[in-house]
Chain A
């Protein structure tokens, strides 16, 4: 699960930085007065917190199993 969550975490973040680097004009526009760029940033904040909470709230047995595998 750790590897899967790492990929889930990093993919949107990498995509965001590629967006900023290569096609920043895609960030233009707004939705209900909120700029797309701000909404995207906030969604990424939520994403980071969600991944963290998902991992922290895993049952203890799963943590022990992964550690034994390591």
Chain B
């Protein structure tokens, strides 16, 4: 048995034990969606970080330093800025007004089926897009790390996430996410510490080594960020997208009061910042230490397994098979924790938000709600596994962009206005939400990622990969116009 498999089995055993413990405490719909609503701020904050930091933040960020250099830090700044913005604009008001889902917040103000439908559609689209990306990434990663066939990998991930969520609800999900966040932080510290030790704890020596290999270009934005409009749109999308992610926002319903909601974001911001800072060392360390090794590159000079394997290869260099196995298992844990949060958000959108549309005025009994929630988890798990198969060989990066674009353009504007602007009307919510969603969808489809990358057209109709700079203001304008009309 390899060390990766051993660590992986240990993690699965721990999380199944957590699920068993949580299942005995998840007998009500309140416990299922909000873990009882009295989680301490520090626990929710660490879980928030674990919910948000996927394998992309762990492996992808390091890989981007290797492939595109400084671009990874440009992404990190925008992503991190979203957290204090979430605190300042949304966190406390969500906690004060919400019940189980973000749609609850909107319908508390606008008791309108159409508002519920548009908001639910926005939440579900973001959740499903994000889920497909995570599942496909999980399948490929596990296939690469553990040698399991792709279908077996996605089935394993799907089964585990269904178990965690259907049995343990938000309580199990919280503890799994917290465990994963601490493991990820620990591994990041190990890797960064190993890199710094290699360079005699002199960061300037690390930067000199990178300079010797790639020149000053390694510390400047790459050609991928040469277009100013693209850069600004990227910044808008990744900063505001966080404020529209349903699986992140629903975590604010798990704490008792707004003080705990503030503390949650405080903890999450600090942890995310620390991880991103360590990624600078890990990413550039991978560049400096792996580039000179021909055994880790194929005939064309590409890193074996792709740039996303940079942290794994670095771990092997620093700590042999043991550290490599640990990092591999933590990467898998990262995916599991995030998909658990996504499935919970999706299940709540189906069984809570959409149910109220199709059964208006007929509140389901608590026991029925719990049963519906668990069935929704099963259905979503099956759907996630099924959808990950046709997307296996597709370039799915656009789905990630789509999720953030819709989160920033549909969910965030209507939520912000609903919480801060008395002049918003139900029509404004509809116009704003629909405009944001349609604009984001159309601009992504006609952009380079889909129009050229998938549909194989010679030129994109919309020239930018990130539509947020256009779709977000459109949504706000539409919401304002819709609220003006009487």
Residues of A within 8 A of B (CB): 2, 5-6, 9-10, 13-14, 16-18, 20-22, 24-25, 27-28, 30, 32-38, 41-42, 44-46, 48-49, 51-53, 55-56, 60, 63, 67, 70
Contact = CB atoms under 8 A, between A and B. Distances in A.
A45 to B, nearest CB: 5
B76 interface: yes
A66 to B, nearest CB: 9
Contacts of A5: 84, 88
Contacts of B205: 33
A32 B88 contact: no
A16 B70 CA distance: 13
Contacts of A21: 225, 228-229, 231-232
Contact of B266 (A24, A32, A45, A52): A52
B88 A6 contact: yes
Nearest to B204: A33
A55 B262 contact: yes
B73 A49 contact: no
A17 B273 contact: no
Majority-rule SS of A interface residues: helix
B473 interface: no
A6 B269 CA distance: 15
Contacts of A46: 273
**Chain B contact surface mostly:** helix
Given A9-B88, A38-B207, A52 B83 contact: yes
Given A56-B262, A63-B258, A48 B83 contact: yes
A37 B81 CA distance: 17
Given A24-B220, A63-B92, A13 B81 contact: yes
B239 A27 contact: no
A41 B73 contact: yes
A41 B79 CA distance: 12
Closest 4 CB pairs of A and B: A33-B204, A21-B228, A35-B219, A21-B231
Interface residues of B, number: 47
B144 to A, nearest CB: 30
Interface in B215-236: 216, 219-221, 225, 228-229, 231-232, 235
A62 B78 CA distance: 29
Contacts of A13: 77-78, 81, 235, 239
B231 A42 contact: no
A51 B273 contact: no
A45 B92 contact: no
Contacts of A27: 70, 219-221
Contact of B269 (A10, A25, A34, A48): A48
A41 B77 CA distance: 7
Contact of B220 (A17, A32, A37, A45): A37
Given A5-B88, A9-B84, A35-B207, A52 B269 contact: yes
Contacts of A56: 87, 262-263, 265-266
Nearest to A30: B207
B208 A48 contact: no
A41 B225 CA distance: 16
B366 interface: no
Contacts of B235: 13-14, 17
B88 A45 contact: no
B87 A55 contact: yes
B163 to A, nearest CB: 34
Nearest to B263: A56
B80 interface: yes
A36 B221 CA distance: 12
A17 B240 CA distance: 14
Contacts of B232: 17-18, 21
Given A32-B204, A38-B207, A38-B219, A17 B231 contact: yes
A38 B76 CA distance: 12
A24 B88 CA distance: 30
A15 to B, nearest CB: 11
